Chains A and B, each alone.
Chain A
Amino acid sequence: MTHLAVPVGSQDHTQGQAQSAVTLVEYGDYECPYCGEAYPILKAVQHAMGDQMRFVFRNFPISELHPHAVRAAEFAEAAAGLGRFWQAHDMLYENQAALTDADLFGYGLRLGLASDVVAEGLDGRFDAKIRSDFMGGVRSGVNGTPSLFINGLRYDGERDVDSLVDALRHAAREAIRPRAGMHR
């Protein structure tokens, strides 16, 4: 119930190297305030871990609670088509209170996305990808956002920088140990 059901793959948005000792997966919603709180913390964690860690973001919009969450996710997916997913991801989390369509077109301009690219992105073409992320999360036992997985195992600890870095370093050490050293 606490394992990542869908392995990290080519469908994912990643930062860092695939051969990193540790991979942190976040299931997030661009309009969720708790994800907004986690955003600068995860940035600091990435900074602290450097090239030891790969970071992955997957969509988990609770659309009925957060009416702009799916549109925001579509915008980020559209930006991904031009190699600007992470710039879009960051811009959305840094402007969580302003996620109307007009805002998204404005962010598009700032990221160098033509308005027709943004408009196409919002036409539903990414809905299957977003839903696929969401259902993969459900299958992994995601019950709210943000949900974090460290090397495929759900992380339920404190979400401050030190606790996360400790857990990630521990997982990195475990990952490079020989199999015989693993317990359970």
Chain B
Amino acid sequence: MSDTHSDEALAAGTPAPAFSLPATPDQMVSLDDLSGKPVIIAFYPADWSPVCGDQMALYNEILPEFHKAGAQLVGISVDGVWCHAAFANDRKLHFPLLADFEPKGAVARRYRVYREKEGIAERALFVIDGAGIIRWSFVSPLGINPGADGILEALETLGAAAPAEGNPS
């Protein structure tokens, strides 16, 4: 349970702060690369949290549903690229984990989900629309995997407002 989680995460209606972070030792991913389609950002405290209840492993299973809604998912933590690579390989993740490693937590700070005391990101979710506006955000208590129902509902709300790309009918 979290006692000090920040209640000030960037809220719906706020333009999503730009970022460019390494996904692998030689590949950067920026929010601009992802623009035009909804983006789900899952900030999380650290790689290697216990299995079965692991949030990233759960999202990995739900990835086809996110893609159906036209959305891209990225995970962000303060772990470095090699740590992310080992973690993603172990959990067979099919979406990028971005390293908010140097300067440490800079992107988490911009989204106001950085925990100074522990030096990690909150367990925080953002759904950003194709125009780069945050449409939903949620901060979960640190030890609690928030699941994906809130993300799917937010994507549906977006889809109702503006049909997803690549759906010609």
B148 at the interface (CB under 8 A from A): yes
Q: Closest Cβ of chain B: how far from A124's Cβ, in Å?
A: 15
B149 to chain A: which residues have CB within 8 Å? 1, 5, 138-141
A32 to chain B: which residues have CB within 8 Å? 52
Residue of A nearest to B55 (CB): A143
How many interface contacts (CB-CB < 8 Å) are there between A and B?
53
| Contact flags B88-129 to A (C-beta < 8 A → 1, else 0) | 000111000000000000000000000000000000000000
B145 to chain A: which residues have CB within 8 Å? 143-144
Q: Number of A residues contacting the other chain (C-beta, 8 Å)?
A: 20
A140 to chain B: which residues have CB within 8 Å? 149
B146 to chain A: which residues have CB within 8 Å? 143
B61 to chain A: which residues have CB within 8 Å? 62-64, 134
When the two chains form their complex, are residues A143 and B92 in contact, meaning their CB atoms are under 8 A apart?
A: no
| Contact flags A132-173 to B (C-beta < 8 A → 1, else 0) | 001100111111110000000000000000000000000000
> How many B residues are at the interface, by size bracket?
20 to 34
B55 to chain A: which residues have CB within 8 Å? 143
| Contact flags A22-66 to B (C-beta < 8 A → 1, else 0) | 000000010011100000000000000000000000000011110
Residue of A nearest to B62 (CB): A138
Within 8 Å by CB of B58, from A33, A139, A144, lies A144
Given that A34-B52, A64-B91 are known contacts, is A1 also in contact with B65, CB under 8 Å in the complex? no
When the two chains form their complex, are residues B58 and A143 in contact, meaning their CB atoms are under 8 A apart?
A: yes
When the two chains form their complex, are residues B148 and A144 in contact, meaning their CB atoms are under 8 A apart?
A: no
When the two chains form their complex, are residues A65 and B53 in contact, meaning their CB atoms are under 8 A apart?
A: no
A141 to chain B: which residues have CB within 8 Å? 147, 149
Q: Closest Cβ of chain B: how far from A93's Cβ, in Å?
A: 15
Please measure, in the bound complex, the distance between the C-alpha atom of A145 and the C-alpha atom of B51, giving whole angstroms: 10
Given that A32-B52, A145-B52 are known contacts, is A138 also in contact with B147, CB under 8 Å in the complex? yes
Can you list 17 A-B pairs with a CB-CB distance of less than 8 A?
Answer: A34-B52, A62-B58, A63-B61, A64-B60, A64-B91, A134-B61, A135-B65, A138-B65, A138-B148, A139-B152, A140-B149, A141-B147, A141-B149, A143-B55, A143-B58, A144-B54, A145-B52
4 smallest beta-carbon distances between A and B, as pairs:
A144-B53, A143-B147, A143-B145, A64-B92
**Contacts beyond the supplied A62-B57, A139-B149, A142-B147: 11 A-B pairs with Cβ under 8 Å:** A1-B147, A1-B149, A62-B58, A62-B61, A63-B61, A65-B54, A138-B148, A143-B53, A143-B55, A143-B144, A143-B147
**A residues neighboring B (CB under 8 Å):** 1, 5, 29, 32-34, 62-65, 134-135, 138-145
